Amino acid sequence: MSPSTEGEILTVRGLSKEYGNRFTTGNVRALDDVSFGLKRGEICGLVGPNGAGKSTLIKLILGIEPRNGGEIEIDEGGGSAVIGYVPERPTYFEDLSAFYNLLYVARLLDVPDAEAASSKMLEDFGLKDRGDDIVRTFSKGMKQRLAIARALIHSPKLLVMDEPFSGLDPTVMMELRGYLKGLKGTGIAVIVSSHELNEIDQICDSILFIKSGKIIKKEDFEREGGVVSLQLTIDNPGKAIMGALAGHRIVSVSPDGGTIVIETPREDVPSILTAVVGAGGQVMESKILQRRAEDMYADVFMKKEGKV
Partner 1 sequence: MNELVVHLKKDLKMISSDSIFLISMLVLVVMAFIMAFESSWSYVDGSFGYYSTLTTRYIIERKQVSTLDEYWIGLCNLYTILLTMISSMLLTSEKESGMMSYILTLRTHKWRFFLSKFAIVLGVSTLIAVVSMLAYLIVFSAMDVPFLGVNDVLASMLLPFLTILIFSAIGLAVSALVRKKGAAIALSVVVWLVISLGYATLTSMGESAAFDDPDYDYGTDEWIDFVPLGYKLLIYANPMVLVNGQGDYLDMTGGAILGVCMVIAYMGLGLALFARERTEQGVIKDLLKKVKGMSHKDGEQR
In the complex, the residues that contact partner 1 under the rule CB under 8 A are 20-21, 23-26, 62-66, 79-80, 85, 87, 89-96, 100, 104-105, 107-110, 114
Our CB check for partner 1 shows the closer of 106 and 275 to be: 106
DSSP calls for 240-282 = HHHHHTTTSEEEEE-TTS-EEEEEEEGGGHHHHHHHHHHTT--
Alpha carbon distance, N-terminus to C-terminus of the chain? 44
Our CB check for partner 1 shows the closer of 78 and 281 to be: 78
CB of 158 to partner 1, least distance (A): 13
CB of 30 to partner 1, least distance (A): 13
Inter-residue contact 221 to 205 (CB < 8 Å): yes
Sheet containing 69-74, strands listed edge to edge, beginning at the edge strand earlier in sequence: 28-39, 8-19, 69-74
Residues 253, 280: Cα–Cα separation, whole Å: 18
CB of 136 to partner 1, least distance (A): 11
CB of 227 to partner 1, least distance (A): 39
CB of 85 to partner 1, least distance (A): 5
**HEC sequence for 180-207:** HHHHCCCCCEEEEECCCHHHHHHHCCEE
Q: Could you tell me whether strands 83-86 and 158-162 are parallel, antiparallel, or unpaired per DSSP bridges?
A: parallel
Our CB check for partner 1 shows the closer of 15 and 105 to be: 105
Beta bridge partners of 155: none
Our CB check for partner 1 shows the closer of 142 and 153 to be: 153
Which residues does 246 contact at the CB level (< 8 Å), separation at least 6? none
Our CB check for partner 1 shows the closer of 109 and 283 to be: 109
The amino acid occupying position 237 is P
Our CB check for partner 1 shows the closer of 86 and 241 to be: 86
CB of 84 to partner 1, least distance (A): 10
**Phi, psi torsion values for 70, nearest 5 degrees:** 90, 180
